[in-house]
Amino acid sequence: MRFFNTSGPIKPARHYCISPLERLGMAEVLGLVRDEKYFVLHAPRQTGKTSVLLALRDLLNAEGAYCCVYVNIEGAQALREDVEQAMRVILGELASRARLIGDDFLSKAWSDIFAEFGPGALREALTRWSEAAPKPLVLLIDEIDALVGDSLLSVLRQLRTGYDLRPASFPQSAVLCGVRDVRDYRIHSRSANAVIAGGSAFNIKARSLRLGDFSREEVYALLAQHTEETGQVFTPEALDAVWKQTQGQPWLVNALADETCFRGGADAPRDRPITADAVRQAQEQLILRRETHLDQLADKLQENRVRRVVEPLLSGVEQSAFSARDLEYVRDLGLIARDDPLRIANPIYAEVVPRELTYAAQSGLVQDTAWYVDADGQLNVVELMTAFQSFFREHSEHWVERFQYKEAGPQLLLQAFLQRIVNSGGRIEREYGLGRWRTDLLVVWPQGERTRRIVIECKVLHKSLEQTVAEGVEQTASYMDRCAAEAGHLVIFDRGVDRRWEDKVFHCRRVAASGVEIDIWGM
């Protein structure tokens, strides 16, 4: 039985998969190779880049016009800026990979070339190898951006130095593959004591190709492979949930599908359909286990250039402290959507971000779900918000200082408080975006055979209080209507340092133009 792959390149005989070559657009790629171009392939981690390169290698070698070699040079990363030893590792890996396709020239020659040329051996080795090869060489270099400093500069410059010798005395075509486009590299050269732009070190690049996420149709096609082979179906609501929650991010799609279909092992019964509830439960398990993919993403939140972009998204406040380079970097990581409006790339990442940022805060809170659940299982949100209001007044300054994302501290503290309570039976769905001056939270709480939906909208006081309340009430009512929520709460955070808590803290109710009643909490 095939299964959903969540680690390493795909193997079509073993894994459900979307054809890697179809995802890339082969007409353009083959044209670049034919025209002797050097180009870049980039995409976020665990998107399928390596699978694409391996499929391209196999295709080119099967066609017989080229000798195509794939090489992963991540092993040289540990050598940092020791250029000579990095070249030794890269040449050894190249020789090993070439031998796998029946070419042993480098295996016999690279050590002598290295002994003679040292740090510059890569260019000479590629020249001699190209001259000895019976067909034009095509080189696929994976994890190029794993290299740092002078080691990375040396590889880029040696490729550029031999470029005019192609195809007789240098590879006809080369693909550099990594998370980022080479033009965006800012390489610190210790030898030159300067920062070198990747575009200047590798100005022979003809094109930058980005491997995108799955489309909705590709997500459905991937899941349909499991149904075809096992008979186990995904309900229409489950299919929609996988697409909605992942927005086609390949690892997330495969991870959700694997969790729902194979949680009980390969022999799990196939007569039960996969439902939307099963997808949501799978999502929660992935987040709670802090799977490597999600943990690596969360680790990036500690970087200042990521914080500068993500923090105003979480707070909703209009800020422009981040640069175009910051924004492009966070997009290259896959954390932010590629298109406008500026937003977290998908709902799963949007859930991971605040949970990661509030993980320590949640652990330090002493709140208990039982304090806010009635005898009939109903979540008493008014009592819960009253408790948070008191907690925020007494402890907010101390707690907000703990957050690296201080500008979004109040919103994060409320989410930590809610998450601590809701973890025991419900869930929180979140929406936030730059310049909206608000964060939308939807608490989904199962109560017997029915499910309650409660909107909690956080808004930063940025006009007069009356204007902010009036605007917030209508926004909350609109969000309630969209979510089919039965109750709404508007939380207004007053960040003014010159106002007393007695003036900030209040609770009242207003009726929106649509007729729904909304609780308003000042803090």
Summarize pLDDT for 394-407 with one digit per residue, the tens: 988 888 888 889 88
Question: Does any domain span residue 70?
Answer: yes
Q: Are residues 251 and 203 in the same domain?
A: no
Least confidently predicted of 66-80, 184-198, 334-348: 184-198
Whole-number Å distance between alpha carbons of 481 and 486: 9
Q: Are residues 184 and 228 in the same domain?
A: no
Question: Does any domain span residue 3?
Answer: no
Q: Are residues 301 and 163 in the same domain?
A: no
What stretches of 263-323 show up as alpha helix (H) in DSSP? Answer: 276-288, 292-300, 304-315
Question: Does any domain span residue 2?
Answer: no
Q: How confident is the model at residue 319 (pLDDT cuts 50, 70, 90)?
A: low
Cβ–Cβ under 8 Å, residues 384 and 467 = no
Q: What is the mean pLDDT of residues 259-286?
A: 88
Domain boundary among 242, 273, 289: 289
Whole-number Å distance between alpha carbons of 513 and 294: 41
Q: What is the pLDDT of residue 498?
A: 81
Q: Is the pLDDT of residue 266 over 70?
A: no
Question: Does any domain span residue 160?
Answer: yes
Token readout for 222 is 């991937």
Q: Is the pLDDT of residue 184 over 90?
A: no
Q: What is the pLDDT of residue 402?
A: 80
Q: What is the pLDDT of residue 98?
A: 98
String of DSSP letters for 178-206:
ESS-GGG-EEEETTTTEEEEHHHHTTTEE
Token readout for 29 is 């790629």
Q: What is the pLDDT of residue 425?
A: 81
Q: Are residues 63 and 35 in the same domain?
A: yes
Q: Are residues 448 and 365 in the same domain?
A: yes
Q: What is the mean pLDDT of residues 338-354?
A: 93
Q: Are residues 191 and 310 in the same domain?
A: no
Domain boundary among 210, 236, 260: 210
Residue 338 backbone phi and psi in degrees, to 5: -75, -25
Condensed to tens digits (0 to 9), the pLDDT of residues 358-369 reads 887 887 788 889
Condensed to tens digits (0 to 9), the pLDDT of residues 451-460 reads 999 999 999 9
Q: What is the mean pLDDT of residues 258-279?
A: 87
Q: Are residues 495 and 348 in the same domain?
A: yes
CATH of the domain at 177: 3.40.50.300
Q: What is the pTM of this model?
A: 0.92
Q: Are residues 58 and 191 in the same domain?
A: yes
Task: Write the DSSP symbol of residue 213.
Answer: P
Q: Are residues 155 and 257 in the same domain?
A: no
Q: How confident is the model at residue 129 (pLDDT cuts 50, 70, 90)?
A: very high
Average pLDDT, the chain: 93
CA distances in angstroms from 60 to 33, 140, 166, 249, 492, listed in the order given: 10, 11, 18, 27, 60
Q: What is the pLDDT of residue 179?
A: 95
Taking residue 499's Cβ as centre, other Cβ atoms within 10 Å add up to 11
Q: What is the pLDDT of residue 265?
A: 67
Question: Does any domain span residue 13?
Answer: no
Q: Are residues 278 and 336 in the same domain?
A: no
Condensed to tens digits (0 to 9), the pLDDT of residues 212-250 reads 999 999 999 999 999 999 999 999 999 999 999 999 999
Q: Closest by alpha carbon to 171, among 64, 29, 36?
A: 36
Q: What is the pLDDT of residue 320?
A: 66
Q: Is the pLDDT of residue 25 over 90?
A: no
Q: What is the pLDDT of residue 344?
A: 95
Q: Are residues 277 and 298 in the same domain?
A: no
The domain of 243 spans 216-289
Q: What is the mean pLDDT of residues 66-71?
A: 98
Question: Does any domain span residue 261?
Answer: yes
Whole-number Å distance between alpha carbons of 395 and 109: 68
Angle at 322 between CA 316 and CA 328, to 5 degrees: 105
Domains in the chain, number: 3
Domain boundary among 289, 324, 342: 289
CA distances in angstroms from 148 to 40, 156, 181, 473, listed in the order given: 18, 11, 15, 51
Q: What is the mean pLDDT of residues 329-339?
A: 94
Question: Does any domain span residue 43?
Answer: yes
Q: Is the pLDDT of residue 18 over 80?
A: yes
Percent of the chain having pLDDT more than 90? 79
Question: Does any domain span residue 391?
Answer: yes
Q: What is the pLDDT of residue 284?
A: 93
Q: Are residues 179 and 268 in the same domain?
A: no
Angle at 81 between CA 75 and CA 86, to 5 degrees: 40
